[in-house]
Amino acid sequence: MISDFRGRTAVVTGAASGIGRALAAQCGMEGMHVVAADVEDGPLTETVELIGGDAIAVSCDVSASESVDALADAAFDAFGEVHLLCNNAGVFQAGSVWDATVTEWEWALGVNVWGIIHGIRAFVPRMLAQGSEGHVVNTSSLAAFMSGSMTAPYNVSKGRCFRPHRGVGRGPESSRLVDRRVRPRSGLSEDSYRRVTP
């Protein structure tokens, strides 16, 4: 477990707004190097400007493995090590199981589930190799425990967020890593950012 965040490196996906921006800002306030990632380049640049210091912005589509691999390369090239990985990027897709299109299902699962898998695969081996403590945080939702008939893609995808982390920090080779799941309450977005900004 990390006891001192100063001088350590955090990578936060979905950092252009909401919870991701709040996480990235808090990491900066803790004295961490911050690698902020998102597909929304304009708002992402604003996040990095608000954090200041040596924070960097990396354009990244977490649903694409090659994009997440490039994010990992950028983070390790810039700061040498990564100690905190926040797989936070997420999207909302409404619709029933039968009304939502295949494209809509693929979008929700691509970002909300595959984004976490790609993050773990791209970062965890390198985090283990560096030999220091680390954290992997996956953002889910209370929707994972709900069964709203008109939000099926979102609910299903957020329910799957609980599974990929299970193998992180469980075996002897990964005992230095701590895995966490975050289940934000409804409405926790920009207000959370305002509470942590100086």
CA angle (31 as vertex; 198, 79 as ends), nearest 5: 135
What are 177's strand-pairing partners? 134
Give CA–CA dist 80/93, Å, rounded.
36
Give CA–CA dist 37/87, Å, rounded.
10
Give CA–CA dist 196/157, Å, rounded.
28
Catalytic residue, from 154, 164, 165, 192: name it: 154
Give CA–CA dist 85/69, Å, rounded.
13
Query: Largest Cα–Cα distance of the chain, in whole Å?
Result: 49
Residue 193 designated active-site: no
DSSP 62-101: TTSHHHHHHHHHHHHHHHS---EEEE-------B-TTTS-
Give CA–CA dist 192/56, Å, rounded.
21
- What is the set of active-site residues? 154
